[in-house]
Copies of this chain bind each other. A is one copy, B any other.
């Protein structure tokens, strides 16, 4: 079974706005075994939109239209569907009452203009929208169907879950899904792909999707079978091979991010953490504290952006800074030790390096780690982009801590 998605709105044809709803809808559809074969983005123009809808309905079994259900003259989705199908729409008092009730709940007056949202296309079912004023509509056209859905993502998702999902599910044979979500730090996408491709390319089910952010690769496995046990067995089988090939480079098997995983390990051990940051300037601390309840294990840290601060705040000896420079193994270790002593944390991480903009040492980074029983430094050479160097440094430091905690 095939589907198409039509995103309606002139703002989606400007240089700054993308139709992101379609990604979420595609994921929902793929989960049901439905493939998206075409996506169209069109402005608030009745005739053009009607032509797009006609074409989509000719080609595909299911047409999802997002946006254009608002109360203004610009909102032409209802009219365009009527035009495409040669149907009329009628004012429905019960829809108008629902819209009025919603305005009453949020204690705002309902404008006359909102009555436009109470028109229902002949033959359509109204889909109540708990999160907004625009009801959706579901329209069976022979064995095919069109859904009119609101554009705001929160409304779209709510309405999908409450009303659309079961209608779409009824159109396809039942499928059971099993998934796995691995995450790997410290490996490029192409290296990782080269390593695991021999395993996953032998399977068309599960489908493997590899998605990369700098220093952080996501591996999604998704099996679809007639039986749940069969889907789970397939994911387990391929998952075991992926685990075998990647070993402890996998930091997460449930999609949790690196700071969350490191935090879980610290909490489980009843241990604490502090940081000493030069080049990253707070990025490492910011990531650690992005995790709710990170105050359970994060004590604090030092941003020491100058040699003087490394000395006065962390106690790095002036002679060491003079002899080895601030970007050195020695200073990385002294920074971590200084942070650990001053915060009385179990662990401390440090970052010192050159993020640019200029100079031959750009990308030259030392990480330090200290615990009650050890202190080590690690040298890494990154590329030349300031933001990337900082991000990769923070990621590598967190992954290094994770490996020490395991």
Q: Which residues of A contact B (CB under 8 A)?
A: 12-16, 18-20, 23-24, 26-27, 30, 35-43, 45, 48, 52, 55, 59, 209, 211, 275, 277, 279-290, 292-295, 298-306, 308-309, 312-313, 342-343, 356-357, 386-387, 390
Contact = CB atoms under 8 A, between A and B. Distances in A.
A279 B300 CA distance: 11
A312 B299 CA distance: 11
B24 A15 contact: yes
Tell which of A35, A298, A313 has the most Cβ of chain B within 10 Å. Answer: A313
A177 to B, nearest CB: 13
Classify the secondary structure of A's interface with B: mixed
A343 B311 CA distance: 11
Given A16-B209, A277-B282, A41 B39 contact: yes
Contacts of A37: 13, 42-43, 45, 48
Contacts of A304: 300
Given A15-B26, A300-B305, 7 more contacts: A18-B20, A281-B294, A282-B284, A285-B285, A290-B390, A299-B306, A300-B309
A27 B288 CA distance: 37
Nearest to A220: B16
Contacts of A13: 26, 35-39
Contact of A289 (B14, B24, B38, B281): B281
Contacts of A300: 302-306, 309, 313
A357 B293 CA distance: 7
Nearest to A292: B357
Contacts of A41: 38-40
B295 A306 contact: yes
Contact of A26 (B14, B19, B281, B387): B14
Nearest to A12: B39
A130 to B, nearest CB: 19
B284 A343 contact: no
14 contacts: A14-B30, A14-B209, A15-B26, A15-B30, A37-B42, A39-B40, A39-B42, A277-B285, A280-B286, A282-B283, A295-B305, A299-B309, A301-B303, A312-B342
Contacts of A306: 295, 299-300
Nearest to A358: B292
Contacts of A356: 292
